Structure 1
Amino acid sequence: MTVPYWVQDQIFYQIFPDRFANGDSSIDPPNVQPWGAEPTIHGFQGGDLRGVIQKFDYLLDLGITALYLNPIFQSSANHRYHTVDYYKIDPRLGTMDDFRALLDVAHSNHVKVIIDGVFNHSGRGLFQFNDILENGEESGYKDWFHIHKFPIDAYSNGDSNDYAAWWGIKDLPKFNTDNPQVRQFIFDVARYWIEQGADGWRLDVPAEIDDDTFWEEFRRVVKSANPDAYIVGEIWEADPRWVNDTHFDGVMNYPVRNAVLDILLNGGKMSTLAESLEHLLTVYPRDNVYAMYVPLGSHDTRRLLTRVDEDVAKAKLAFALQFAFPGAPAIYYGDEVGVTGDKDPQNRRAFPWDESQWNHDLHVWAKKLIAARKTSNALRRGDYKRIVASDDMRYYAFARCLGDEQVLVVLNATEKSCKLTIPVTELDWEDGQKVQDYLSEARCRVGDEGVTVDLPPWGAVYLGNL
């Protein structure tokens, strides 16, 4: 199985292009909203690829090493999941030269870039679908989609009845991926953008294409263009069907998020948290576990800080667990500075470049976690080992171990400060040995009963052997 080894070392940063940064106001749409305006379903705020380039120093200072860009191809929607041209950068985002410039900046700074592929459906503005609208049953593309009857009605209100569409939404006609011409079209697109320099694909709703042979060929095409390309699927539940040598390298590991939120919001048991996370380590092959994309939020979820009722300490604990867990942690743009927002469109606010609007406590914490993960090989590549999951005292301790390097992660899931003595008999730590917290730089010694740590409410430590 060809699983990209580089993924486990990454810190991903997801960018919703229209809302990250406006670097070229000359390409703003005529009805552009002011930057930072209350987001709407259809409104544009002018973010573009030049904006990402201009703010790259911010990304490097934060410490990210990989970007995931929401769709960048020509589309009628601000989220660009309604693709109308798979070979053209949306003019409101820039040009092919801008995309290449972004890749140049990223790659020269050792930052990977993966892009979003929407292959289950297109926008109704796609040439092939428009040809059906114009020519009906005489269209040479009538078999590219699942047409139920002619003529088709694509623009009146209501659900799609004349053709299959994603969730019945008329804007999103579903491709007929049984058609060899459609398959070849999609595979050619997949190959083209990898050949242009993209480092991988994030696949939108891939389970909607319920065809193993399709994905086997998709993988073959992508890996033939670049054997080290990353293929990650938007699969919301743990399902080993999608992760193997004929499908994807990894999936968006949302169950990690769900397990963490259960602790923070519902008072879930720590033993249940440990069992849930450990299940995710066994349901997939080991190499793929470490190639998982691990988000706490995305354009499809409520913002992290909103989800935890704007309790910064809880958000920090969620980040601490995310960055210590196997797989590649992913930050949704703005979560690291405390951007809030409920469901779409509120979760797609413009990034606040006025630093007075930032939650600096959260920002500093994110940078510490990123620095710790980049410093420690064990946090990125080490084996997981449960130490304690205490339901009574509501703390969770586990280790990441790689050779002689061991990191003990301790999480306090209570509203009170606590002093805990964690047994370390399963680690190669000797009585009297000094260990240091990667996050606070505080040092302590291993005693007869283990190592004693002081944790604030919802606090965390990453103890490493010196």
Structure 2
Amino acid sequence: MKHNTFLWFFTVFSLFVSLIFARPWWKDAVFYEIFVRSFYDSNGDGIGDLQGIIQKLDYLTNLGVNAIWLMPIHPSPSYHGYDVLDYTSVNPQYGTMEDFEKLLEEAHKRGVRVIIDLVLNHTSSSHPWFIKSSKKDPTYDEFYIWRKDITESGWGRPWGGGSKWDVWIRNSSREEYYYAAFWSGMPDLNHRNQKVKEEVYKFTKFWLDKGVDGFRLDAIRYLIETGPGKGQADTEETISWFEEYNQFVKSVNPNAVLVGEVWTDNRTVSRYYSTNGIMDLCFDFDRSGAFLSSDKNNIVRAYLTQKRYTAPADFYAPFLANHDVFRAMNQLGNNEKLARLAAVCLLTATGTPFLYYGEEIGISQIENGDDKYKRTPLPWTTDKKRNYGFTTGRPWFQMYVANKKVNVESQIKDKNSLLSLYRKLIHIRKNFPEFRSENLEIIPNNNPNLLVYKRTEGENTSWVLINFSGDKEDIDVPQLENKQLQNLITDRKITIKKGVKISGLDFLILKEI
């Protein structure tokens, strides 16, 4: 009996220790951001849907992706979904709750995690909560931020610009003004209200119980305001609120990830890190700009600046572009060679990388200020007459394909395509632990065009050398001389006697063996 008791205690203790010290799954993830409406249409109505994602899961796993982020899937009056009508339903244009549950099941079968967008800062102005609040329903009276008089409340947008009165909107039903940081159709929730908090916790638990693996949290900087200007973003109350929210999420599912959108510099982003838990990851906007600048000095500066702050390197999640900015290919001047270098920067970087759908095939866009152009349907085939394989119906928005090679079908067949490079880089990241570690050392050199850094984890060491010049460049890296190396792109073994030659707008990834 004593032996059995000891064995039981030892087993439970071992499980407890493994849970406490286990490496979080997201540190080994490569995320893929999906705008459901534009990914793949399974039923011919011109709108991408959840069944479409299910049908393309094998494409994602073959690419090497092991986590997906779905932009808002909730009912909404807008095409984008960031003004939510119902936090516990699925947008009927995308399918049913059964479709979503099937997506979770099929993704998890393949080892793919699924996180969804949660928009906590605001709702739609058509949300039942807001309608009831505008009528002073006692339950919902203080769900939003109301003012009878705004003569002293001319705050302006949190990010500047426009009129100082833009955020206060007159409501004729209540005959008061409500606060809406983004626009009149998105009234801000009053997160000082305990009833609001209870509702947020309720729908958060709803999705965790469904089996989602976490959340991408939209616009979290603006959750709780204390006044105009600096008081509209990154307040201590906001950060404290999310620290409690993190604790709640982990109490429901300790393995759930929280990814924060804090669209600003990393000095501020780092405030959302705590050893007690606030966000697990935050997007790294500094490195996004640096990677797309194709400038060695900008990239070095981004890495060195990041080290000044308290958050660890793998807290900052690198990406190239997302649904709010021009496509990466546009920012790179539609230069495929630069797109290849940007992919190397992203997928050999510290932190958990995020890809925006279509980035892997070099999608570009018409440079129009309307955000729809940043979120156009994904071309799957070469068949222009059949909407490039996206839908058998009429696409919800016009498709833009820069050339006949910008589609999945063509690039899967081409071992030298951008898609093939992405697949190779993701394979390297997944198979060599140094590329998933926090350790990245910039190696100084006097050539303004050559970026060299070393990635290490235990006894594993690899080197990344990138030439941002259009000309062939020579570089001496004494640490590499006379070492046995493997080119991880070509799989060839080489030994460097003296100096390395790198072609213009090219790179090397070398592993010490």
| Residue equivalent to 1:31 | none
Q: 249, 265, 283: which is aligned to 2:309? A: 283
| Residue equivalent to 2:272 | 242
Distance 2:104 2:22 in 1: 22
| Residue equivalent to 1:347 | 374
Residues 115 and 198, structure 1, Cα contact 8 Å, conserved in 2? yes
| Residue equivalent to 2:80 | 79
Task: Please identify, of 12-21 and 346-355, the stretch whose mean Cα deviation from structure 2 is larger.
Answer: 346-355
Q: In structure 2, the residue corresponding to 1:142 is in which secondary structure?
A: coil
| Residue equivalent to 1:369 | 425
Q: In structure 1, the residue corresponding to 2:455 is in which secondary structure?
A: strand
Distance 1:79 1:18 in 2: 8
Q: Deviations over 1:125-158 (max 9, x none)?
A: 211112234xx234531210112249xxxxxx99
Residues 178 and 464 of structure 1, relative CA distance in 2, 3 Å threshold: same
* CA-CA distance at 1:423 after TM superposition: 2.4
Q: In structure 2, the residue corresponding to 1:398 is in which secondary structure?
A: strand
Task: Please identify, of 352-361 and 323-332, the stretch whose mean Cα deviation from structure 2 is larger.
Answer: 352-361
Q: In structure 2, the residue corresponding to 1:99 is in which secondary structure?
A: helix
* CA-CA distance at 1:254 after TM superposition: 1.4
Residues 7 and 290, structure 1, Cα contact 8 Å, conserved in 2? no
Distance 1:174 1:445 in 2: 60
Letter paired with 1:314: L
1:460 aligns with 2:507: yes
| Residue equivalent to 1:113 | 114
| Residue equivalent to 1:445 | 495
* Matches for 1:21-420 after TM superposition, within 5 Å: 21-25=40-44, 28=45, 45-133=46-134, 136-149=135-148, 160-162=169-171, 163-167=177-181, 169-210=183-224, 211=237, 212-236=239-263, 237-238=265-266, 239=268, 240-244=270-274, 245-262=276-293, 264=294, 268=295, 270-286=296-312, 289-341=313-365, 342=367, 343=369, 344-355=371-382, 356-358=404-406, 360=411, 361-381=417-437, 383-390=439-446, 392-420=447-475
Distance 1:389 1:305 in 2: 29
Structure 1: runs of 5 or more not aligned? 29-44, 151-156
* CA-CA distance at 1:295 after TM superposition: 1.1
| Residue equivalent to 1:19 | 38
By percentage of residues, which structure has more strand? 1
Residues 219 and 382 of structure 1, relative CA distance in 2, 3 Å threshold: closer
Residues 90 and 96, structure 2, Cα contact 8 Å, conserved in 1? yes
Q: Give the length in aligned residue pairs.
A: 424
Residues 260 and 17 of structure 1, relative CA distance in 2, 3 Å threshold: same
Q: Deviations over 1:53-106 (max 9, x none)?
A: 011111111111110110111111111101000000111111111111111111
* CA-CA distance at 1:403 after TM superposition: 1.5
Q: In structure 1, the residue corresponding to 2:139 is in which secondary structure?
A: coil
Residues 7 and 291, structure 1, Cα contact 8 Å, conserved in 2? no
Aligned-residue CA RMSD in angstroms?
Answer: 2.2
Residues 297 and 448, structure 2, Cα contact 8 Å, conserved in 1? no
Residues 257 and 158 of structure 1, relative CA distance in 2, 3 Å threshold: closer
Letter paired with 2:406: W
Q: TM-score, normalised by structure 1?
A: 0.86
Residues 133 and 143, structure 2, Cα contact 8 Å, conserved in 1? no
Distance 2:259 2:488 in 1: 30
Letter paired with 1:375: N
Residues 442 and 453, structure 2, Cα contact 8 Å, conserved in 1? yes
Identify the structure with bigger relative contact order (alpha carbons < 8 Å, sequence gap 6+).
1
Distance 1:416 1:231 in 2: 43
Q: In structure 2, the residue corresponding to 1:113 is in which secondary structure?
A: strand
* CA-CA distance at 1:6 after TM superposition: 1.5
Q: In structure 2, the residue corresponding to 1:167 is in which secondary structure?
A: coil
| Percentage of pairs with the same residue | 27
Q: In structure 2, the residue corresponding to 1:88 is in which secondary structure?
A: coil
